[in-house]
């Protein structure tokens, strides 16, 4: 078999397989049908070319030459037919197409006369090569006119098509140039121009380019069939290899064991197949994805990731960063950003991004910014695929899109309010965003808008709670003024009294006759007392100042429960003493530490202990105990107060619920206490008996059990 015959056979097989593949994918789609017919004409030409090259008789060679010419007559016409359907030009160019088919029919009738193919004769290393008749040149001119016209309409379509279609047309355009140019190398020898048809094999290249366009740019959308076909072929080949291999290697042994029964000797093959078939299928799917679809994403993976890992996040900062990380990873895109509207500054700010750039935090879109205002006005997405000649985007919008490295911008809407913008960059597969992408992304964007809105509400609620807690704390400090005044004035008064007594004694001459050393010793004793009392006042002042400051909200402090309780009791101890409440602090010194926000934990102790004191109407006792149990620190605050009615215990942690007299409580104290405890990784519970007392139990993880 000659090289030319082999090339023709390869062309025929490639065209047949690819044409059937596209046609069978969707038998009712006009695009698939027309492409199948185009492939059929190439296959017809190629098989006749093969038969002509292997012919040993002049009459047979002439017949196959005229048959292959029949195929070549219709190749450009059927290709034009495909393009007019695919590019939505069929109705406007229908008359032109009918005219071309008419000319082709006339040429096909003349084809079997000497007017087109006169005879076959030897030339170069070909035994039988066709000689052109007088009607062949007009046909050749017409053939080239149709080919060039096909290239022309594809070139014009690329100028006005969206980016997705433009990429598809580009690959078809390149494939057509290579395929038709390769086929044209057959014609010089028809006119004794001694140039062999070396470009024949290029006809198969168009098949490869078209397959690449299908996989890479979703041309005719048959990726799933390609994938399943490859996996099936791999499974078939592997299964055959296992059966044949095991049967061949074990035939002698197993036939002897089974007494020559060949069916039983196949049992090991079946057993091995049962074990390896599923892992083998998974392996082939993985390999196919890796080498053909490695940069594509699965819609199911995106939806599963967001339903299980993203939409359950309540912390706003964590949520926005999780959104961009998961989108960029699952959708396999180069960049992703999330802008949220800042009402105070009246602008959209980039709060999280991947692949946007080092200075992404500086990117802001003002309310009158073209991109932001366009999305807010239209309430629909914006894509770079909309940049066709018929609908060009303003320069400022393109600049904004380039700055954010985005291919797609989707507004995040709550009702009619745009709370943010989701930006997606270029796909790593180089594909454009399709309608299937939008069918998934638009509902997802609406869901993300709700999740972000909920996180905003929780964030605002947290700030409101923090502000309420701070106001509550400052109000409480006001009520402790008498005790604080005592705790500060008492040591200062002692210090002043010591100094005044010493000065009066000197004035009255009580130290006459004393030696300098005796006076110095007396002065040192008095100064030490003064320093001690001033230190007492300073400590109280520092504790009060520290307690009054808002917490930083950092869960990183190593907290000694004993010291924290002591500091709180130093602030409220005098008030308890005035109310004739006995305090018993039984917290052990060697109790395991906890991790949390020191100020917040102190505020919890302050509120719980003070709440216990307010529950005692007359003389009573507050006992504070602590222990370690099951890797947790348990702190109990027990009072001998009025207790809480059983039907009201479940309500005491509700906001604005209080059992105190009107004007004596906001109902936020215990609500805030529970929020703060849970924020620091703990929990609070209560036991109470009316008329006997109440015990609050606080639980926190031990420090060594907490990973910071």
- Which tens digit of pLDDT belongs to each residue from 258-309? 555 555 555 665 666 566 666 766 666 665 555 444 445 555 666 666 666 6
The pLDDT of 339-361, averaged and rounded, is 79
253 shares a domain with 200: no
Return d(Cα 78, Cα 63) in angstroms, integer.
Answer: 23
pLDDT of the residue at 453: 82
* Between 449 and 264, the higher pLDDT residue: 449
Does residue 126 belong to any structural domain of this protein? yes
Residue 622 in this model has a pLDDT that exceeds 70:
yes
629 shares a domain with 613: yes
DSSP character string of 500-526 = HHHHHHHHTTTTTT--HHHHHHHHHHH
Does residue 346 belong to any structural domain of this protein? yes
Most confident of 212-216, 270-274, 308-312, 685-689: 685-689
Please state the φ and ψ torsions of residue 509, each to the nearest 5 degrees. Answer: 80, 20
The pLDDT of 73-93, averaged and rounded, is 90
139 shares a domain with 20: yes
Give the single-character DSSP code of 306. I
The pLDDT of 166-179, averaged and rounded, is 83
User: Percent of the chain scored above 70 by pLDDT?
Assistant: 68
Residue 65 in this model has a pLDDT that exceeds 80:
yes
598 shares a domain with 658: yes
Residue 539 in this model has a pLDDT that exceeds 70:
no
Which residues on adjacent β-strands are paired with residue 347?
342, 366
pLDDT of the residue at 627: 92
Does residue 476 belong to any structural domain of this protein? no
Return d(Cα 631, Cα 635) in angstroms, integer.
Answer: 13
Please state the φ and ψ torsions of residue 455, each to the nearest 5 degrees. Answer: -65, -35
Does residue 163 belong to any structural domain of this protein? yes
110 shares a domain with 207: yes
Residue 147 in this model has a pLDDT that exceeds 70:
yes
Last residue of one domain, picked from the residues 292, 324, 340? 292
Domain CATH number, residue 427: 3.30.450.40
319 shares a domain with 253: no
Last residue of one domain, picked from the residues 266, 292, 318? 292
Return d(Cα 582, Cα 589) in angstroms, integer.
Answer: 21
- Are 71 and 51 in contact by the 8 Å Cβ rule? The answer is no
Return d(Cα 440, Cα 450) in angstroms, integer.
Answer: 16
Please tell me the total count of domains within the chain. Answer: 4
- Are 356 and 335 in contact by the 8 Å Cβ rule? The answer is yes
pLDDT of the residue at 100: 92
Full domain range(s) for residue 253: 225-292
| Residue 700's pLDDT band (cuts 50, 70, 90) | very high
- Which tens digit of pLDDT belongs to each residue from 84-98? 998 889 888 999 999
489 shares a domain with 382: no
The pLDDT of 552-567, averaged and rounded, is 77
- Which tens digit of pLDDT belongs to each residue from 400-416? 777 777 888 889 888 77
Does residue 469 belong to any structural domain of this protein? no
Does residue 374 belong to any structural domain of this protein? yes
- Are 596 and 569 in contact by the 8 Å Cβ rule? The answer is no
406 shares a domain with 429: yes
538 shares a domain with 627: yes
567 shares a domain with 698: yes
Cα→Cα distances 120→21, 70, 294, Å: 36, 16, 51
pLDDT of the residue at 523: 78
171 shares a domain with 211: yes
Most confident of 290-294, 472-476, 696-700: 696-700
């Amino acid at each position: 078999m000659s090289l030319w015959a082999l090339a023709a056979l390869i062309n025929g097989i490639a065209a047949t397989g690819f044409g059937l593949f596209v046609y069978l994918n969707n038998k009712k789609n006009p695009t698939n049908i027309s492409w199948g017919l185009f492939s059929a004409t190439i296959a017809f030409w190629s098989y006749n070319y093969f038969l002509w090259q292997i012919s040993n008789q002049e009459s047979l060679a002439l017949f196959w030459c005229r048959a292959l010419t029949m195929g070549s007559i219709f190749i450009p016409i059927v290709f034009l037919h495909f393009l007019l359907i695919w590019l939505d030009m069929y109705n406007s160019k229908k008359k032109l197409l009918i005219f071309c088919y008419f000319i082709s029919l006339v040429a096909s009738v003349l084809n079997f006369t000497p007017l087109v193919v006169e005879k076959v004769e030897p030339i170069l290393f070909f035994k039988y090569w066709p000689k052109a008749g007088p009607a062949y040149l007009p046909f050749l001119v017409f053939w080239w006119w149709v080919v060039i016209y096909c290239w022309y309409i594809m070139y014009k379509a690329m100028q006005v098509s969206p980016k997705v279609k433009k990429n598809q047309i580009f690959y078809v355009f390149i494939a057509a140039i290579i395929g038709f140019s390769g086929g044209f190398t057959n014609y010089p020898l028809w006119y004794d121009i001694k140039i062999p048809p070396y470009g024949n094999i290029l006809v198969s290249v168009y098949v490869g380019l078209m397959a690449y366009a299908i996989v890479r740019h979703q041309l005719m959308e048959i990726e799933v069939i390609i994938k399943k076909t490859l996996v099936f072929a791999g499974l078939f080949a592997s299964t055959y290899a296992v059966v044949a291999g095991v049967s061949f290697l074990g035939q002698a042994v197993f036939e002897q064991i089974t007494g020559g029964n060949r069916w039983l000797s196949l049992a090991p093959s079946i057993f091995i197949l049962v074990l390896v078939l599923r892992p083998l299928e998974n392996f082939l799917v993985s390999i196919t994805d890796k080498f053909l679809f490695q940069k594509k994403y699965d819609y199911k993976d995106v939806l599963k990731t967001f339903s299980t890992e993203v939409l359950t996040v309540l912390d706003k900062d964590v949520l926005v960063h999780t959104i961009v990380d998961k989108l960029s990873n699952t959708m396999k895109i180069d960049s992703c950003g999330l802008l949220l509207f800042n009402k105070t500054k009246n602008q959209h700010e980039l709060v999280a991004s991947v692949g946007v750039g080092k200075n992404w935090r500086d990117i802001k879109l003002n309310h009158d910014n073209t991109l932001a205002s366009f999305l807010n006005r239209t309430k629909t997405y914006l894509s770079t695929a909309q940049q066709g000649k018929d609908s060009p985007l303003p320069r400022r919008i393109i600049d904004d899109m380039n700055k954010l490295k985005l291919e797609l911008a989707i507004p995040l809407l709550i009702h009619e309010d745009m709370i943010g913008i989701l930006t997606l960059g270029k796909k790593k597969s180089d594909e454009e965003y399709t309608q299937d992408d939008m069918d998934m992304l638009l509902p997802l964007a609406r869901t993300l808008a709700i999740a972000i809105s909920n996180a905003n509400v929780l964030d605002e609620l947290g700030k409101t709670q923090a502000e309420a807690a701070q106001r509550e704390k400052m109000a409480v400090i006001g009520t402790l003024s008498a005790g604080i005044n005592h705790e500060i004035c008492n040591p200062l008064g002692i210090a002043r009294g010591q100094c005044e007594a010493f000065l009066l004694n000197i004035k009255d001459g009580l130290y006459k006759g004393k030696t300098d050393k005796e006076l110095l010793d007396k002065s040192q004793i008095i100064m030490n007392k003064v320093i001690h009392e001033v230190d007492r006042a300073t400590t109280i002042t520092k504790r009060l100042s520290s307690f009054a400051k808002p917490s930083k909200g950092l869960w990183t402090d190593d907290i000694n429960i004993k010291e924290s309780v002591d500091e709180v009791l130093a602030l409220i101890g005098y008030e308890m003493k005035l109310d004739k409440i006995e305090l018993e602090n039984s917290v052990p010194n060697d109790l395991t530490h906890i991790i949390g926000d020191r100020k917040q934990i102190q505020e919890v102790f302050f509120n719980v202990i003070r709440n216990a004191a307010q529950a005692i109407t007359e003389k009573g006792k507050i006992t504070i105990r602590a222990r370690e149990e099951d890797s947790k620190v348990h702190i109990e605050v027990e009072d001998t107060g009025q207790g809480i009615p059983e039907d009201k215990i479940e309500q005491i942690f509700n906001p604005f619920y209080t059992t105190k007299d009107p004007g004596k409580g906001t109902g936020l104290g215990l609500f805030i206490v529970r929020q703060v405890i849970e924020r620091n990784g703990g929990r609070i519970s209560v036991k109470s008996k009316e008329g006997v007392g109440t015990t609050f139990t606080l639980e926190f993880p031990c420090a060594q059990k907490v990973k910071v």
